[in-house]
Amino acid sequence: MQKNEIVTVTIEDLSQNGEGIGKADGYTLFIKGAVIGDQVRARIIKAKKTYGYARIEELLEPSRHRVTPACSIAGPCGGCQLQNMSYEAQLAFKQKKVEDSFTRLGHFTEVPILPIRGMKDPFRYRNKAQIPVSRDKNGRLIAGFYAGRTHSVIPQEDCLLGVPENAAITRMVLAHMEQYHIPPYEEETGTGLLRHILIRKGFATGELMVCLIINGDRFPKMEELTRQLLTIPGMTDISLNLNKERNNVILGHTICQIYGQGYITDYIGNVAYHISPLSFYQVNPIQTEVLYSTALDYAGLTGQETVWDLYCGIGTISLFLAQKAKQVYGVEIVEAAIQDARDNAELNQLHNAEFFVGKAEEVLPRKYQEEHIQADVIVVDPPRKGCERAVLDTMIQMAPKRIVYVSCDPATLARDVRVLVDAGYQLEKVKPVDMFGGTYHVETVCLLSNRKCKPDSYVKWKLDMEDYYRIKDTEANKERSRLGV
Ligand code: SAH
């Protein structure tokens, strides 16, 4: 096959990134935007020896899973890779992505996988928007999204993943800029004032925060804009963030408070969080609660346990666990996140959670070797690259009864779980959860139990689990046939 050749392809599978995969004369092609079941005429844009990439020229026969994307810029924006698939088909794709990782990369023959937990509404789930401001070719002020992998802005004030207030706030800010001739920031020259509009909403409280990120020290007629913003129900906190650096980092370090206390409050379950413009917070709080409740359930706590939460971030999982455990220790590399975790523990009067700043692969081995710390349960929620080998090895030596692995990357999850299983852990359950509808991302919670550690209570628990599986298996099969996977 050669570049620019035109071929007819039926899409039979999807890659881990959601590209359609089909064969032309036995040659495998990856085609962006194609859906399983589509028949397409495609142009080869890159031809390698055994596979290539092609672009859709014409959709000859659309798949029954294909839908018209609800968002008009779904294609160029690149934020949602799967919006042209029905939500059921997206979930089936994610379920298979997790299962395939375990079988192909983790070499598991049987995967105790439960049906993916989807979202009630796969739109309007993001509580945070960072909207770049720019000008179009005609010099008109626009706000929107960077076109996939570039820094040119496509106008879109109302991303369907975000809250409806984003559009109202953005329009207000743009109209104010228009009125007072306030220029947007220009990356090429480093001139202009407004860089991004940051908006956050507490889903449980309805509180709204607006932070204008500016290349300067003040924003003209800010009192007037503040008065207008305060007409939006829920507006709780308004600030400026000063960022005069010429780089791609969105936020600077300095906050100028204009209105409010410097934070909004939100809840995940019954744990309260103060969220400032600079602090990390999960962007989909509803599914975060689902994900972390599953982790808590898998931790099987009775109130007597010592639990470690590695890669704890702002302590969301730690504080969930602290409500049911004797003692929780969290480890996280970012100091500011640990400060938030400590503040959140205080805010919720949870005194049995202690946090350490550092790399999990250094803190855990050190604490184990020097202080002989113990763990009944260890929870990990690492970034995409998974756990360092030193973390896995120390966990194996510590031999907790249960390990709960929360993951945003099924490939590194399957790799790490294989190490734990080879060391004697049993993979009990794998539960995919969808946190990011429209995108190819999937979260997974796994429960591993220590085979060597089998007190009576464990044996009883295991028998209960077997019963649970028998029931769940039937459910899983029903769900699979519903989804056609
Ligand atoms: N459960 C957390 C989020 C976990 S995301 C929460 O709800 O807040 C993964 C976290 O791992 C991030 O906060 C990241 O800063 C942290 N991290 C990355 N590498 C790390 C390492 N080597 N050791 C400890 N933490 C690390």
Can you tell me the distance from the alpha carbon of 54 to that of 38, in angstroms, rounded to the nearest whole number?
A: 14
Q: Is 123 part of any domain?
A: no
Q: How many Å lie between the centroid of ligand 1 and the Cα of residue 311?
A: 4
Q: What is the pLDDT of residue 393?
A: 95
For the CA of 406, the nearest atom of ligand 1: 1
Ligand 1 close to Cβ of residue 317 (< 6 A): yes
Instruction: Please tell me the predicted confidence (pLDDT) of residue 310.
Output: 98
CA-proximal residue: ligand 1, atom 2 (nearest): 313
| Helix extents (H) in 25-120 | 74-77, 87-100
The predicted-structure confidence for 326-374, as pLDDT tens digits, reads as follows: 999 999 999 989 999 999 999 999 999 999 999 999 999 999 999 999 9
Residue-wise pLDDT for 75-108, tens only, equals 888 789 899 999 999 999 999 999 999 999 999 9
Q: Is residue 263 part of a domain?
A: yes
Residue 476 lies in a domain: yes
Do 377 and 307 form a contact (C-beta atoms < 8 A)? yes
Q: Is the model's pLDDT at 482 over the cut of 70?
A: no
Q: Tell how far the Cα of 362 is from the centroid of ligand 1, in angstroms.
A: 14
The CA distance from 25 to 346, in Å, is 64
One domain for residues 151 and 234: yes
Is the shortest distance between the CB of 316 and ligand 1 below 6 Å? Answer: yes
> How much is the pLDDT for 485?
47
Beta bridge pairs of residue 405: 380, 446
Determine the Cα–Cα distance for residues 112 and 447; give it in Å rounded to an integer. Answer: 10
Q: What is the pLDDT of residue 451?
A: 77
pTM (2 d.p.): 0.88
Q: Which residues are catalytic?
A: 408
Contact 21, 7 (CB under 8 A): no
Domain with 175 in it: what CATH number?
2.40.50.1070
Do residues 133 and 235 both lie within one domain? Answer: yes
Average confidence (pLDDT) over 404-421: 97
Question: What CATH number should be reported for the domain holding residue 10?
Answer: 2.40.50.140
Quick check: CB of 415 below 6 Å from ligand 1? Answer: no
CB atoms closer than 10 angstroms to residue 66: 18
Does 325 share its domain with 433?
yes
- Looking at the structure, tell me whether residues 167 and 227 fall in a common domain: yes
Contact predicate 404/299, CB 8 Å: yes
| The pLDDT value given to residue 16 | 83
Q: Is the CB of 387 under 6 A from ligand 1?
A: no
pLDDT value, residue 474: 60
Distance 360 CA to ligand 1 centre (A): 9
Does an H or E element contain 115, and which?
A: none
pLDDT value at residue 76: 83
Same domain? For 416 and 378 the reply is yes
Same domain, 237 and 294: no
Euclidean distance between CA atoms 8 and 325, whole angstroms: 58
pLDDT at 475 over 90: no
Considering the domain architecture, whether residues 156 and 260 belong to the same structural domain is answered as: yes
Residue 449, strand partner residues: 402, 426
Distance from residue 381's CA to the centre of ligand 1 (Å): 7
Q: Note whether 288 and 435 are within 8 A (CB).
A: yes
Please indicate, yes or no, whether residues 288 and 407 belong to a single structural domain of this protein.
yes
Q: Do both 260 and 289 map to the same domain?
A: no
Q: Is the CB of 359 under 6 A from ligand 1?
A: yes
Query: Pick from 40, 66, 92: which residue ends a domain?
Result: 66
Res. 303: pLDDT tops 90: yes
Per-residue pLDDT tens digits for 249-298: 999 999 999 999 999 999 999 999 999 999 899 999 999 999 999 999 99
Write down the pLDDT at residue 467: 56
Mutate to test the pocket of ligand 1, among 268, 279, 332 (most ligand atoms within 8 A of CB): 332
* Token pair listed for 447: 């429960």
Same-domain status, 380 and 419? yes
Q: Of 361, 373, 380, which is closest to residue 309 (Cα–Cα)?
A: 380
Quote the pLDDT of residue 58: 97
Tell me the mean pLDDT in the region 30-55: 95
Residue 367 CA to residue 377 CA, distance in Å, equals 16
The per-residue DSSP string of 181-237 comes to: TPPBPBTTTTB-SEEEEEEEE-TTT--EEEEEEESSS--TTHHHHHHHHTTSTTEEE
pLDDT at residue 459 above 80? no
Mean pLDDT of 18-39: 94
pLDDT band of residue 473 (cuts 50, 70, 90) is low
Per-residue pLDDT reduced to its tens digit, 161-187: 999 999 999 999 999 999 999 999 998
Of the residues 14, 33, 66, which one is the last residue of a structural domain? 66
Residues 246 and 319 reside in one and the same domain:
no
Whether 428 and 303 share a structural domain = yes
Cα(341) to centroid(ligand 1), Å:
12
Structurally, how many domains does the chain consist of?
3
The finding on whether 335 has its CB within 6 A of some atom of ligand 1 is no
* 388 CA closest ligand 1 atom index: 22
Virtual torsion, Cα 310, 313, 315, 317, nearest 10 deg: -60
Residue 327 belongs to domain with CATH number:
3.40.50.150
Q: What is the pLDDT of residue 98?
A: 97
In this structure, the number of other CB atoms found within 10 A of the CB of residue 1 comes to 17
d(C-alpha 28, C-alpha 53), whole Å: 8
Domain of residue 434, residue span: 284-480
pLDDT value at 414 more than 60: yes
**Quick one: which H or E segment has residue 170?**
helix 165-179
Could you tell me which of 417, 366, 355 has the C-alpha nearest to residue 387?
417
Residue that wins the pLDDT comparison between 38 and 151: 38
Q: What's the distance, CA 436 to chain centroid?
A: 6
